[in-house]
Structure 1
Amino acid sequence: MEFLSSRVLIRPADRERSLAFYRDVLGLATFREFPGGTVFFLGGGFLEVSGEGPGGSAGVALWLQVRDLAATVEELRGRGAPVDREPRLEPWGLREAWTSDPDGTRIHLVEVPADHPMRLDTR
């Protein structure tokens, strides 16, 4: 079995509100648009916001790696995003903070410290 690409699909309660959040607050770049949907670049994958549904899901979260967690949290705070949990060092060695989209989907913002085993990019 071979997987060539992947994306996370979100069916928000209010598509325009969620598009504004992901585009304007998180600052994600648009990969493509189609009638009823928008696909954003999301690091090594994609996030599709399309259609409408109940919005949010208690079991779904996005994991977004950032270079500077403190600066990212302050930038998001300045753009009006909620900071649901302030940055902290987790027992597994990653620095994390949480925000959420307009439907309550949790977004984990993660900084991988330079000495962490996951660190592949040593810039």
Structure 2
Amino acid sequence: MDKHQAAAGLCHVAIRTRDILESVRFYTEILGLPEAFRMHGEDGSLATVYIFLAPGQYLELFANGRKETAADSETIGFCHLCLMTHDIQRSYETVRAKGGPLDSEIRRGLSRCLMFWIHDPDGTQIEIMEMPPESLQAQADKRLAGSNG
């Protein structure tokens, strides 16, 4: 990004969990994402687990969520988490083989991306997306990559 822009990229998305160990298991075992590190509170209890996505990009899982909120098509604010894959069919088959909660089949989105939907143990909606060359995202990446100086 240009040095005058306010942000240089996405660092992490934080998700408060009902059961942090169940969520860590989902993201590491079902989705195959590596755990980066853990942080503990002053009392020694597990407080936060970082899940590695890419250099400088993480999911930050917080323990001790108590209040449920439901996001739907009319809720303002956070809607879903989207994770990128380079092989949508393989990702779909991996999640299915590991017993992951598949919410849709693979389909083509309006942007010409390929996607399917799942959810984590707390109901966070997760889109798994592949950006083929004809997708609007891939075209934008190609067009804007040179302007990130």
Range into which the TM-score falls when normalised by the shorter chain: 0.7 to 0.9
Alignment check: 8 A CA contact 1:39 1:47 kept: yes
Q: Structure 1 length normalisation: TM-score?
A: 0.85
Give the TM-score normalised by structure 2.
0.72
More strand, by proportion: 1
Shift of 1:6: 2.2
Whole-Å separation in 2 of the counterparts to 1:60 and 1:91: 17
Q: Percent identity?
A: 29
Q: Secondary structure at the match of 1:23?
A: helix
Equivalent position SS for 2:106:
strand
Q: Structure 1 stretches of 5 or more lacking a match?
A: none
- Comparing both structures, which one devotes a greater share of its residues to helix? 2
Q: Which has the larger radius of gyration?
A: 2
| Deviation (angstroms), 1:115 | 2.5
User: Unaligned stretches of 5+ in structure 2?
Assistant: 41-46, 72-77, 143-149
Cα RMSD of the aligned pairs, angstroms, is 2.1
Deviations 1:55-101 (A, max 9, x none): 56514311111011111011011111011011101122111100100
User: What letter is aligned with 1:46?
Assistant: Y
Q: Distance in 2 between matches of 1:65 and 1:57?
A: 24
Counterparts of 2:69 and 2:34 in 1: how far apart (Å)? 22
Alignment of 1:76-115 (within 5 A): 76-115=95-134
Structure 1 67/22 Cα, relative in aligned 2: closer, same or farther at 3 Å?
same
Q: 2:60 aligns with which of 48, 55, 58?
A: 48
